[in-house]
Amino acid sequence: MVAQNPLLERLASGGAIGSYWLELGSIAIAEVIAEARPDAIIFDTQHGLWDKQGLFNGFAAIRRKSQPVVRIADDSPTAIGEAYDLGATGVIVPLVETPAQARSIVAAAKYPPLGRRSAGGVRPMLDFERYASQANRSLLLAVMIETSAGLKNAAAIAAQPGIDLVFIGTSDLALSLGVFRQIGPKHERAVQSILAACRKAKTACGLYTSDMKAALERVSQGFQWVVVGNDRDSLQAGAKADMARFARARGEAKSRP
């Protein structure tokens, strides 16, 4: 099941990951988005509508088209193990603020002797001997820095063995820094300092980007994981554009003699 993880291979080679973010909990949308072949599809269980059965079925819907990654709700061993047990090839843990917390997260993500992850889950148990022999080195583990406390400890968090990626939660970081209504130089300095800490630690760094323009700009700066789109914004933008075109056409029709 695990074998090679193309996400880890891409990051190790210095390449960039273009991911798509899903929060609406729709398996059908996941299947449609997978046809675009994003490097990874992120299923958001912290703020999104995904439940356990939905994740299990959603992963099946994108199989061999994209890699399933879960942004889990918290840093608990249960949340971490459950996402991997469902078949995720990567987990993103939110609100990481200290190196001790990062170490605990790594322990929860790894099987003994490297950690304390419990054996189980439907997909791993299809061939557990093979899965367990590969999981510790083949499953991606990312932690999110998105608070002023996490920013302060970014260097130590990024240097923690077992962390494959530091992912910046840009909105929560802005809230924590008190600049959400007017994101500017203070926020950008924080983002760039986290990137610098990751470079020093030789750990990949990514961040949430709201659209393709922002994603491409961040890749040019050296970020290795970006978000090229999300289901909610894509659907809403498409619907608004369609209705705006219809309204203009309807208005033109009414104005004709």
Give the active site residues: 47
- Tokens representing 29 are 């949308």
Give the residue carrying structure tokens 């190196």: 99
Is the bond preceding 77 in cis, omega lying within 30 degrees of 0?
no
Angle between helices 231-255 and 27-34 (to 10 degrees): 90
Total count of residues recorded for the chain: 257
Any long-range contacts for 31-35 (C-beta under 8 Å, 24+ apart)?
A: 31/61, 31/62, 33/62, 33/66, 33/231, 34/61, 34/62, 34/65, 34/66, 35/65
Q: What is the CA angle 188-191-194, rounded to 5?
A: 150
In 97-234 the beta strands, taken as DSSP E runs, fall at 140-145, 165-168, 204-207, 225-230
